[in-house]
Amino acid sequence: MLVDALPEPGGQVAALYPEKRIHDVAGHPAVRGRELIDRLVTQVEPFHPRFLLGRTAVSLEAEEGGSWVVRLEDGVPVRARAVVVAAGLGRAVPRTLPCLRPYHGRGVAHHVRRLEDHRDRDVVIVGGGDSAVDWALALIGVARSVTVVHRRAAFRAHEHSVKRMYASGVRVVTEAQVTACHGDGFLEEVRVRAADREFAISAQAVVGALGFITNLGPIAEWGLLMSNRLVLVDGAMRTNLPRVYAIGDICHYEGRVPLISVSFGEAATAANHAAVALRPGARLAPEHSTDIDDTFLS
């Protein structure tokens, strides 16, 4: 059973960058976020999971006999013998600029839901991280023009992506800030202030890729051992609570690398250890044909 506060499965990938190309999933040179989530849902369908979407888990309570009750905000209890916490960085609220707020939903957004929504538009992207650069590259050939405005000279994004952006024809304005938005009802242009000048850029869309403020919400009160808002786990992805595991960006152990591909491995590790905890004597690792004696096969 999967509980998610979002109205669709897929977490931050589905909500924040469904059109972004992801490059760290094994076997996929590049896969769009939406396509990856669709494939994962199809992969799990034969096992008939229940999806409780648009529902927030507010408490984790121990029951007699060793089971857990995850209680939802509407009071509904979800009983389980094992719980895996895969809450990412929690609820994310986008950072913004004061001048962008009046046009939110009228040309200003904080991520790109569909590339086609920006067909033949002049798009300004504000930010210097991976999302800003990736969206700029993705919009080439879709938008009429793409401009990236970043307040620093250097970008935080992956070096290879930054080089591609500079070579792509995207207009890059560094050491500058968007100071104002203008338009009659909907966005029409933005004002940009650089070190030595101020100028206007035609824009029917602004993507504010300025990062997010995250909040774990009720999970922080569940009694999980934490450090710097991350749940501490061991090599089996076990938390300090019996048969409660944590995986993905919400968990921490020495040497962890925050990649989607790493989280997939953590999910498999947690699932196999949970299975052994629920069925003592069960094998931790799946059995492979290469482990079987040849005489048995003959």
User: Cα torsion at 29, 249, 129, 21 (round to 10°)?
Assistant: 20
269 annotated to a ligand binding site: no
The one-digit pLDDT tens for each residue of the chain (298 residues) are 999 988 889 988 888 788 888 888 999 999 999 999 999 999 999 999 999 999 999 999 999 888 999 999 999 999 999 999 999 988 778 889 999 999 999 999 988 888 999 999 999 999 999 989 999 999 999 999 999 999 999 999 999 999 999 999 899 999 999 999 999 999 999 999 998 899 999 999 999 999 888 888 899 999 999 999 999 999 999 999 999 999 999 999 999 999 999 999 999 999 999 999 999 888 887 776 666 655 544 4
- CATH node for 96-210: 3.50.50.60
State the Cα torsion 238-241-242-244 to the nearest 10°. Answer: -60
Could you tell me which residues are beta bridge partners of residue 194?
176
Domains 2-92+213-278 and 96-210 share a fold: yes
Distance from C-alpha of 16 to C-alpha of 129, rounded to nearest angstrom = 14
Q: Note the pLDDT of residue 293.
A: 59
Which pair of structure tokens corresponds to residue 128? Answer: 């210097």
Specify which residues 124 forms β-bridges with: 147, 206
Give 255's DSSP letter: T
134 is annotated as contributing to ligand binding: no
Residue 12 annotated in ligand binding:
yes
The Cβ of residue 254 has, within 10 Å, a number of other Cβ atoms equal to 5
- Euclidean distance between CA atoms 258 and 88, whole angstroms: 10
| pLDDT for the residue 51 | 96
> Which residues share a beta bridge with 4?
53
Residues 201/147, Cβ–Cβ less than 8 Å: yes
Q: How far is CA 139 from CA 18, 147, 224, 226, 294, in A?
A: 13, 10, 42, 39, 55
Domain boundaries, the chain: 2-92+213-278, 96-210
Would you say 57 is a known binding-site residue?
A: yes
CA distance readout (Å), 248 to 151, 172, 212, 229, 232:
31, 33, 17, 13, 12
What's the confidence (pLDDT) of residue 295? 52
Sign for the CA dihedral angle at 289, 290, 295, 297 comes to positive
Measuring CA to CA, which residue among 219, 253, 214 is closest to residue 83?
A: 219
63 and 177 Cβ atoms separated by less than 8 Å: no
Residue 214: what pLDDT?
81
Q: Say how far apart CA 215 and CA 230 lie, in whole Å.
A: 11
Q: Is 17 annotated as a binding residue?
A: yes
What is the second-level CATH architecture of the domain 2-92+213-278? 3-Layer(bba) Sandwich (3.50)
Q: What is the Cα–Cα distance from 132 to 126, expressed in whole angstroms?
A: 7
- With 0.95 as the threshold, say if the pTM is over it: no
245 is in an annotated binding site: no
